[in-house]
Structure 1
């Protein structure tokens, strides 16, 4: 039987580090805030025996006139290196009292110093114990994780989130800068919850962004243009599930880009399109495992207009989060009014929403498929006209099939941020979003340039000038509208 005295060994080595006795290496850590506490005197024999990074570095460095080797680590902070050097000597690390951002910095530094054991432990800690923080900082975490091959645990965590909520990447402003290996890893996922035709469109879009010289009009493309795009997408194309496309998508989306595909593959797609039972020689990847195939984007709260991703986005705006919630929405959306169920008159809104605060209005604009709306933290009042100021209200337009990115416009605390006027049968958010009369039969709603909400939520041709009568182009009616009461879960 072997008796192990690791605790005593750990304590002795920690005391050796603190004593500074017989140190032959000086490590300089770059930290502008504390320039006088950035030199660590350590023992090369311990660091080299514990870590291949330091062994390689110390072999490359000669002793100076004081018989000391000097190593500079300019990219690591004092706070992070304090933890690392104590871990190297003692084999101990405590994360309970550390901020998650510091733990993530520690992970990056541990990877740089090739501390493989610590890299795996820190990833597991973040994923298992601090997943909510990873979701909150998802964009930053995802970009970083795919620049580092050893961050496999976090990569798998991110891939799982993307599979359930693909719009967080495909709908991102940074989608075009997504690394190729990251995009390929997404395309490989069998449970990616996105229609294959839509995936194809995003892949083509990504490839075009890498070739900005390509003509905007596909009719003007040459064989060289298609060849360039094919070369860019050569790593992505094998992971498209071509035989899962609908017939409509084959005609509208694959045929125009047939030159990107190998001749045999395109021939087999055509054969399957015309004669589904005929055998083919191309590899047929399995269809993706789409959940709830009958209603892929419908929420459990039963909206006729918005998706789960929209709800998460609106919730993040209420909480003034820089990045949208991915999962674990802190709010419940309770339906109060629906036009097709309760009627489209503004009077109906005041009757049902009287004395109700924290409501979100959602409008589907007739003819454009836009989704507009606003958030009112105050109570709507059926027997009182008021104008109130707040910085908590906002108006918005949501991303749709025809519009890639959502637009958020927050109130600037002007007197008329929210206007409640049942006597005139209208309600508005300043003059930036104005609703009047019967929202479906009367074309009386409009958006105007506004001091209260400085960012327009519609494109320029649909926005009226400030303090002018609304232009004909800006007037609209709605196909449907809904109002939800927002509850904290």
Structure 2
């Protein structure tokens, strides 16, 4: 049996990076001279982890100080910090990165030929930031189409863009590249439907009622779709779809093509002259439903956090790994709705099973509490339940999450809208304006025996969110 001590190895390697002792390479990162960061690193480590650095170091000679100097002006210090720590420690933290920074990190990781990281970052963006990918679709897809290793994101974009609100603004060349794909996981009739919608969006003066279209109207749409139409797999349509979907728009097609479509419909074995594109390779295997844990729109927690919270609600000793039994429905967000506790009572009145998540200002701590009981506006009272809990979540600075369940049911939830205050005993008290008043606190509590925060000092929050917990069943 082999015993592994990866954590110690990772920590020792990180200390070597931070100390710079016995370094033989100096990497200058950043374009502006005043903002350049210099990293003192070890060639043996970098070239063993990255083929890119091995090639670069082979091309560079030592200077008079027996140090090789490599300049990387086209990468940000923020991104390179993550990469160099990953190379030395095998660990990364994405919690403090903006979505755009994470995508830049993906591009840089590919350039440095860090295949493991490239795959992880693609999956992370899809699982945690799919709404952002859809928002920036054109940019993301163009990049992924040019980079062979970005297949995970490219496939995601190809199979979700048709239902995106940005679909109609898609550039023609990007749309064509999608239509060319043999493994596009969508029925041909639906692809046709979306293509027609895209063309109509480019011709806003077309009548909404197809019965009122003139030959000129069809000609205008045909010109718009000229480069796209050859990539539709017309002979993959069902007989019913030919009649219902293609026939109304037959004027968009060349006469011979439309004739051949009808010939195949009536006499499938008769030869035709039109080019027959192969049907798309749509997966027939029914895959288990994967339910994303949360918040495509949470500004604070990740899917992993949501799965952990769901395990606590469900009282599972082993955390959920991917299929979340609960949906997290966003009700309130501080930056959107306001930071006063009264706002929570106004919006969440009569709502039960809520989770409140807080990001502590200045420390990055993520705290929160689960309340299974109804929040009630204009009804001050201390409520009793043994199903509530408070917690602090694992972050960059927090090694493990802390869970503290209600130990004694008396006064576990403080529903005090007039003050206003929302409290979980004294373990987590939220008072007044969470952002400006600095009156929130975590104290020693009889109701919740485990302290979720070592500091008893008051704090304010950078952001907070309230979610209603709904069963996915």
**TM class by smaller structure:** 0.3 to 0.5
Q: TM-score, normalised by structure 1?
A: 0.45
